Copies of this chain bind each other. A is one copy, B any other.
Amino acid sequence: MDLKSAIRDVPDFPIKGIIFKDITTLLKNHEAFKETLDLLYDFSKNKGITKVVGIESRGFIFGGALAYKLNAGFVPIRKPGKLPSETLNESYELEYGTDSIEIHKDGVGAGDKVLLHDDLLATGGTMEAACKLIEKAGAEVSQISFLIELKFLNGRKKLNGYEIKSIIEY
């Protein structure tokens, strides 16, 4: 099916002038949901992935399902202060100021082959920081997948050298 047609444009969210790509209309359509996950799975099967790392919070939705299908563990990357045990932290730049994300120190480690997953590739800042977290923890970033890629923002430039897949491109 045409997965792009299942995405809804919401004007002026979260701020005036932005057209937000709303994935909830795809998620609630069981055929679109299934087809999307099957495509993400096809990209990552037979790659020896040991951990799927999803980025809070929309990256958890397909991330958990991918972990199950790949017979891998699931590890969350979250906003600061959300993970209860010892964490690694990585900052990244926003248009104004900075933000940061965290992973448990023992979430991934040496020998892990990691699939990183998030719903959206925009400028790539968050995913670049996520790659640094995985590598700081001693694991390997094997693949990166997204539901949506906003190609005009050139996010892939920040993710040079990684194997990347996005299901829907704008």
Q: Are B22 and A67 in contact (CB under 8 A)?
A: no
Question: In the complex, how many residues of chain A place their beta carbon closer than 8 angstroms to a beta carbon of chain B?
Answer: 43
Judged by a CB distance under 8 angstroms, whether A159 is at the interface is no
Judged by a CB distance under 8 angstroms, whether A88 is at the interface is no
Judged by a CB distance under 8 angstroms, whether A85 is at the interface is yes
Give the CA-CA distance A85 to B11 in the complex, in Å: 9
Cβ contact of A30, chosen from B8, B29, B73, B84, cutoff 8 A: B73
Looking at A53-61, A93-101, A123-131, A161-169, the stretch in contact with chain B turns out to be A53-61
Copies of this polypeptide in the complex: 2
Residue of B nearest to A29 (CB): B73
- Supposing A64-B62, A64-B65, A65-B64 touch, asked if A22 and B73 sit within 8 A by C-beta, the answer is no
List, sorted by A's number, 26 A–B pairs whose CB atoms are closer than 8 Å.
Answer: A8-B85, A10-B84, A22-B84, A24-B75, A24-B83, A24-B104, A24-B107, A27-B67, A27-B76, A28-B74, A30-B50, A33-B67, A33-B73, A34-B68, A37-B68, A57-B57, A58-B76, A60-B60, A60-B61, A60-B64, A61-B76, A62-B64, A63-B64, A64-B65, A65-B65, A65-B68
